[in-house]
Structure 1
């Protein structure tokens, strides 16, 4: 379990990116580049821009495909709406097909398997770490041009999957109905009857997985054993406080989900816009915090392999890394961009102050926790 102390507000995101010790090891060798003398590039085997020739050649190949299939990208999730719109503006020749925005990480993989060989299969994935680790055989290795700027701890060594944006597990709440919870135990009280939701099923969704991780460390446990977190939510279920409803901005605005465990940048988004809940506030509990990153990956059977690789290049560009920051998330390249002077300093300074101590699960801890949750979660909260 990686631990690091709090730093200054501007540098907090840098610490999160630079020291998230996932200890990733190579899961597969890089695919071979096209043989010398080949007249056409096989985009499905390209592992860097160099395999296309130049970045302009990659852009041309992606434009020739004319499509990009994305999945599980809610527009109010970490500023994805603005990111998708910028790609569409930059590349009007490429139609973005947005499928099933609210499905879980596990359901992304299921969609790839169900649609294998079809032009409707997802080209790219956005995944929690536990699901990414379980499905490396589905991914194609690829290293973006800004690869060296991404901390080693956030990337699988061949580029099968790469951390992109992250944050802290938090509790969002309707301040017109509740006081800010100060401890986990507050949420077990009678005042929270039928009021507390987590964002998905922790055996399938990264945010819900992290909610159990937070409950574990806030219950004096360690990430080597998620049982204390499972026990906490089991106790919440027995108290009648656990609300089994999929969380959206609409459920928050309507009051259907008045208290929510979720990433800080996602919880914060529920207060934004005309449809948001203006009474919605977010708290990161004192003590030990739980941090994590979502990962980008390319479907090895992507129907639009060049567009998939162009999308990855786009996501790790300066412009989009700053758009993650605008959405309240901490971009993977934050440290390098800060050093280069390309980070949006005002947005970086606006990030919430981080907990005094933060933990991030390693590969082994995530794998073991996923196994335990698969065995124990359903019975614990039935």
Structure 2
């Protein structure tokens, strides 16, 4: 049987089919790119548009990032290779405070800073919340998005197992045979200051007086070394001690090991920020998205740092387990000093260290 369709019916059918095949979002126009925006969604709508805007700027300027610090050499190269953006490195050895002081003349796009320097200079930063914003603990980010932690570490005891037994507490360092050092003068060097505070932890609280008293006892016992070269144990961040242990690994008796004793451990993080006057605002935002991505966070892990999103990566199965297994093991609860606690403790050390420790 032959079915005949009228010309009018054919036109209606054709129009209906054509209408059904047209996506509802066809020809939808995206808003203009806003490189100064405070989020990917508000400024670029998609990652592709952020990448496109950053590539047009063609370069990024970073400051205070030595290539051998936290695997930054590989991180910089990976970013540059991934997006075809040249990374200009200025004053790689700059301290956090120096980064801020040099900003006017060197014009960096992004900063890598200690928490206290970031908090004190928050007005110099442009707000920008990276996509995995919710993965960053609230106490490690500015509510307005001006700065947020990227990576950090735990205070630890590195020791030579050929000379001393593994310490199970800071009190063990008072035993005969130990020769202990700090990486610098705690009145001047931040790491040494944190070493004193780590030794003072009790009940989850750090107290400067307790730390100074402990190191005074170390000196009185003859266990405080004048230099690291003469020490059999060094109180330092675990990323420093772990890197040294990796370099000295091999043979029947490894030359360096790392312990994180106690139920609590002192922790600290370095934070990231975008300059309010960044010459390359899109590239700066792309850099932040990269280092807070799963790949970027695992690259910090490769440098023995503890990425701020480590727990989230672990929960989602994107953490590099092989790299994570190389970090010093601990079940201790991290303790992070607040800015007021840090200021009070530093004032105490400057007043009392010389008289009680020397």
TM-score grouping bracket, smaller chain normalisation: 0.7 to 0.9
For 2:76, the equivalent position in structure 1 comes to 84
Q: Aligned equivalents of 2:75 and 2:292: distance in 1?
A: 11
Q: Aligned equivalents of 1:276 and 1:301: distance in 2?
A: 48
Equivalent residue runs for 1:1-382 within 5 Å: 41=34, 43=35, 45-53=36-44, 54-97=46-89, 99-101=91-93, 103=94, 107-113=95-101, 115-118=102-105, 120-188=106-174, 191-192=177-178, 196-198=181-183, 201=186, 205=190, 207-217=191-201, 222-223=205-206, 225-236=207-218, 242=224, 255=229, 259-273=233-247, 279-348=255-324, 351-373=327-349, 376=352, 382=358
SS in structure 2 at match of 1:111:
helix
For 2:19, the equivalent position in structure 1 comes to none
Check whether the contact 1:129–1:366 (CA below 8 A) recurs between aligned residues.
no
Superposition deviation, residue 319 in structure 1: 0.6
- Which moves more between the two structures, 262-271 or 300-309? 300-309
Q: Aligned equivalents of 2:116 and 2:189: distance in 1?
A: 9
RMSD: 3.5
**Whose radius of gyration is greater, 1 or 2?**
2
Q: Aligned equivalents of 2:175 and 2:341: distance in 1?
A: 31
Change (3 A) 1:192 1:335: closer
- Which deviations, in whole Å up to 9, do the C-alpha atoms of 1:223-253 show, x marking residues without a partner? 3x322113333554566755576xxxxxx7x
Q: Aligned equivalents of 2:131 and 2:204: distance in 1?
A: 40
Check whether the contact 1:126–1:296 (CA below 8 A) recurs between aligned residues.
yes
Change (3 A) 1:310 1:190: same
Q: Aligned equivalents of 2:181 and 2:153: distance in 1?
A: 21
Q: Aligned equivalents of 2:329 and 2:98: distance in 1?
A: 37
Q: Aligned equivalents of 1:95 and 1:349: distance in 2?
A: 31
SS in structure 1 at match of 2:201:
helix
Q: Aligned equivalents of 1:373 and 1:138: distance in 2?
A: 30
Change (3 A) 1:148 1:175: same
Change (3 A) 1:208 1:298: farther
Check whether the contact 1:202–1:212 (CA below 8 A) recurs between aligned residues.
no
SS in structure 1 at match of 2:112:
strand
Change (3 A) 1:142 1:190: same
Change (3 A) 1:145 1:349: same
Q: Aligned equivalents of 1:77 and 1:212: distance in 2?
A: 23
- Which moves more between the two structures, 47-56 or 307-316? 47-56
Unmatched segments (≥5 aa) in structure 2: 1-30
SS in structure 2 at match of 1:169:
strand
Change (3 A) 1:335 1:147: same
- Which deviations, in whole Å up to 9, do the C-alpha atoms of 1:151-198 show, x marking residues without a partner? 3232111112212223321011233344333443444567455x5122
Task: Count matched residues.
Answer: 325
Unmatched segments (≥5 aa) in structure 1: 1-37, 246-251
Superposition deviation, residue 147 in structure 1: 1.1
Q: Which has the higher relative contact order, 1 or 2, with Cα contacts under 8 A spaced 6 or more apart?
A: 1
Q: Aligned equivalents of 2:269 and 2:128: distance in 1?
A: 18
SS in structure 2 at match of 1:88:
helix
Q: Aligned equivalents of 1:269 and 1:81: distance in 2?
A: 15
Check whether the contact 1:162–1:296 (CA below 8 A) recurs between aligned residues.
yes
Check whether the contact 2:127–2:146 (CA below 8 A) recurs between aligned residues.
yes
